[in-house]
């Protein structure tokens, strides 16, 4: 989309505190995964915390086990390549080891003007809009984007709710 970039928010809640051995493999690789994202063609921006790996010092509703990932990409294709076409997919497939299965939707995308860096509050409002209204041009998931072909062919196994 000319003059626009793709923003995404993914929220997960760790199964244990950040310093717990049960999430050590994830926490130990977070800088590596974020560093890879920053080197990818089409990467624009990522929300980062003041300390620690990635953005692990930004809590949601005061809960430090919630880990938000907020980033901006030049296009659907560049985000898809990172998510489904790199080592990121291997970590995504292992998400049930480190993250609770959230009953509610926890991923949203939307278009932003080039140069815009969304805030976490803005992103959470988009997520809430998606939860309340479903896919729309205001807030959407992968299936709303015709150009999101890797999602259809490379997506990971579904995580079952126990």
Domains identified in the chain, total number: 1
Q: Read off the pTM.
A: 0.86
Q: Which of 93, 124, 108 is nearest to 26 (CA)?
A: 93
| 161 assigned to some structural domain | no
Q: Is the pLDDT of residue 161 over 80?
A: no
| 116 assigned to some structural domain | yes
| Mean pLDDT, range 119-148, rounded to an integer | 91
Phi, psi of 80 (to 5 degrees): -60, -40
| 33 assigned to some structural domain | yes
| 115 assigned to some structural domain | yes
Domain hosting 53: range is 4-156
**pLDDT greater at residue 146 or residue 32:** 32
**pLDDT greater at residue 52 or residue 77:** 77
CATH number at residue 131: 3.30.70.100
Q: Kindly report, residue by residue over 68-121, the tens digit of the pLDDT.
A: 999 999 999 999 999 989 999 999 889 999 999 877 778 999 999 999 999 999
| 113 assigned to some structural domain | yes
| 128 assigned to some structural domain | yes
| 162 assigned to some structural domain | no
């Amino acid at each position: 989309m000319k003059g626009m970039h793709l923003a995404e928010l993914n929220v997960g809640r760790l199964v244990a505190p950040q310093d717990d051995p049960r999430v050590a493999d994830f926490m130990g690789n977070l800088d590596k995964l974020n560093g890879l994202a920053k080197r990818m063609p089409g990467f624009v921006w990522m929300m980062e915390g003041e300390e620690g790996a990635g953005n692990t010092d930004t809590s949601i509703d005061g809960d430090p086990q919630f880990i938000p990932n907020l980033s901006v990409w030049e296009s659907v294709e560049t985000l898809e390549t990172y998510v489904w076409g790199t080592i990121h997919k291997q970590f995504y497939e292992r998400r049930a080891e480190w993250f609770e299965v959230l009953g509610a939707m926890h991923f949203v995308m939307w278009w932003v003007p080039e140069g815009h860096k969304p805030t976490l509050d803005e992103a959470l409002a988009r997520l809430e809009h998606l939860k309340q209204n479903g896919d729309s041009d205001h807030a959407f998931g992968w299936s709303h984007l015709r150009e999101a072909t890797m999602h259809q062919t490379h997506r990971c196994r579904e995580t079952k709710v126990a």
